[in-house]
């Protein structure tokens, strides 16, 4: 599972300030082509957006569109929620 911070902040300084406290990956602010592609693929229109993707079983498959809310509401337990979703997706694929 991969957690990717995709920001649509107004400038690079705001992105750096927001991302400085995050322990996971981010799409670089200057990578406009990738940001636009992700925004389109996942319907991203809010700032900031935290999406959770499966990085092992099916790389790039969406695990949670609401990663930011998951973290705010569940903190450390958000990882357990995401892992459970991946496990459930794996079980569905086996049947």
Per-chain mean pLDDT for the chain: 84
Question: 3 forms bridges with which residues in the sheet?
Answer: 52
Q: Tell me, what's the pLDDT at 1? A: 60
Q: Which fold has domain 2-94?
A: Glutaredoxin (3.40.30)
Q: Tell me, what's the pLDDT at 78? A: 92
**CA–CA gap between residue 18 and residue 24 (Å, rounded):** 12
**Domain limits of the chain?**
2-94
44-76 pLDDT, tens digit each: 877 777 888 887 767 778 888 888 899 999 998
> pTM of the prediction?
0.67
SS3 labels along 35-53 = HHHHHHHHCCCCCCEEEEE
Instruction: Grade residue 2 by pLDDT with cuts at 50, 70 and 90.
Output: low
């Amino acid at each position: 599972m991969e957690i990717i911070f995709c920001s649509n902040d107004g400038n690079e300084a705001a992105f750096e300030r927001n991302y400085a406290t995050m322990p996971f990956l981010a799409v670089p602010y200057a990578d406009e082509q990738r940001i636009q592609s992700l925004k389109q693929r996942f319907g991203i229109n809010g700032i900031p957006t935290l999406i959770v993707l499966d990085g092992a079983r099916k790389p790039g498959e969406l695990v949670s569109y609401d990663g930011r809310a998951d973290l705010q509401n569940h903190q450390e337990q958000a990882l357990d929620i995401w892992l459970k979703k991946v496990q459930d997706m794996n079980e569905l694929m086996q049947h």
